[in-house]
A and B are shown apart, each in its own frame.
Chain A
Amino acid sequence: AQRVTQPEKLLSVFKGAPVELKCNYSYSGSPELFWYVQYSRQRLQLLLRHISRESIKGFTADLNKGETSFHLKKPFAQEEDSAMYYCALRSNFGNEKLTFGTGTRLTIIP
């Protein structure tokens, strides 16, 4: 069974401080991992995916298969980063089903 765990429901960080949102997963195969973000009153949107190995809005995430983790990081938090962040997993074959974690609400303190 697929499972995604985000241990922190709430995270507050000062502007300019580093941010790390934790995500651990459980899956027997090789999954695709994603981070989705939901800003206030906006739809859920893709922030980044592990296979792209890119940095979006200063955020990066590295897939660590040994620790089954996909933590989201940013070296210097900005006020506009305040949002709800969801980690999600998709199996590497079959349908497009995403398994989401429960989300972390990130608040950047000015």
Chain B
Amino acid sequence: ETGVTQSPTHLIKTRGQQVTLRCSSQSGHNTVSWYQQALGQGPQFIFQYYREEENGRGNFPPRFSGLQFPNYSSELNVNALELDDSALYLCASSSATARNTIYFGEGSWLTVV
């Protein structure tokens, strides 16, 4: 069992609202990535944080933003929610210096109505 934990596990939001998803990385991992997994699709890379700075971004608009804290925990914020934002959001942690295994959390299911 990995040490990556995410909260909340499920939530429902209304179109136009804002949401914050949280992730606690595995101990010793200084890199966190966020992925969006729509139904029937593979995970899509949103962005990555290393030492509290964004270090790579996928094809997602600026209303998707993030933070990484000194303890390596992380948040994903999505503003002006759209129906298509409904998906499973996965957090993954790794050690950039070691480039070892990337561990995933169980995800947060977001439904936008």
Which positions in A face B, CB cutoff 8 Å?
4, 6, 9, 36, 42-46, 49, 86, 88, 94-103
Contacts and interface: CB of A to CB of B under 8 A. Distances in A.
Given A94-B56, A97-B33, A44 B48 contact: no
B68 interface: no
Interface of B: 2, 31, 33, 35, 40-45, 48, 50, 55-56, 58, 90, 92, 94, 96, 99, 101-107
Nearest to A102: B42
28 contacts: A4-B42, A6-B42, A43-B2, A43-B105, A43-B106, A43-B107, A44-B90, A44-B104, A45-B2, A49-B101, A95-B50, A96-B48, A96-B94, A97-B33, A97-B45, A97-B48, A97-B56, A98-B35, A98-B45, A98-B92, A99-B45, A100-B35, A100-B42, A100-B43, A100-B44, A102-B40, A102-B42, A103-B41
Contacts of B44: 100
A11 to B, nearest CB: 15
Contact of B43 (A42, A95, A96, A98): A98
A15 to B, nearest CB: 26
Given A43-B107, A44-B90, A96 B102 contact: yes
A43 B104 contact: yes
A36 B44 CA distance: 14
A101 B56 CA distance: 19
